[in-house]
Amino acid sequence: RDGSRLSGAAAELDALRRFHRQTLHELPIGVCSIDAQQTIMGWNRAMTEMTGFNDEVIGWQLSDLPVPWGALLNRFMEQHEHQLYRQTVERYGRRYLVNLQRASLGDPEQQQHVLVVEDVTQVAELEMQVSHQDRLAAIGRLVAGVAHEIGNPVTGIAGLAQNLEADFDDPEIHEASTQILEQTQRIRHIVSAL
């Protein structure tokens, strides 16, 4: 009886191990595990999609990875911080931005590490678009405010020119007020186009 119970527990542990392994493999974010000697022990599907290298890299040294990944991941492992944000990576002539995070597991002598690599290119592009739209909106508000501030005194000047024309019969005053009205109309068109 004890033997069958043990095999049942072993089967459950094996099923759980397989489930966790499949979960890591299918995550939509890059996961790479390395041992204390920086030998690659795990490499999931998202890492393959990001780097172009499949799980053939398992057993390689981190430094054996081709450019730019080997240099980037080695530099990250050598630094004290456990996060590195918005690192530029060139692949197939396209620029990507990635965030890196590291978790260290086990005792300091034989520490293993899990590296998480997240492609944030699309998020960065969306942030740039939103920022650009915010700048355009701010410029629009500024222009509207300037147009309003210019429009008010121009309306007052046009009103004074019309009063001059109505109050005086002098041809010189009529000519001057006509020129003033033409110029105020020109300013209104400019402000309207703005």
Higher per-residue confidence, 43 vs 12: 43
The pTM for the full model equals: 0.63
pLDDT at site 1: 45
3-state secondary structure of 138: helix
Res 58 pLDDT > 70? yes
3-state secondary structure of 67: coil
Query: Sign of the C-alpha dihedral, residues 18, 30, 77, 90?
Result: positive
Q: Which residues contact 178 (CB under 8 A, 6 or more apart)?
A: 165
Which ranges constitute the DSSP H helices of the chain? Answer: 2-26, 45-51, 69-78, 121-167, 171-193
Mean pLDDT (whole number) for 48-63 = 91
Return the residue matching tokens 């019969």: 169
Res 3 pLDDT > 60? no
- The closest of 132, 114, 147, 129 to 47, measured between CA atoms, is 114
Helix (H) or strand (E) holding 33: strand 30-34
Mean pLDDT (whole number) for 38-52 = 92
Report the chain's mean pLDDT, rounded to a whole number: 87
Res 4 pLDDT > 70? no
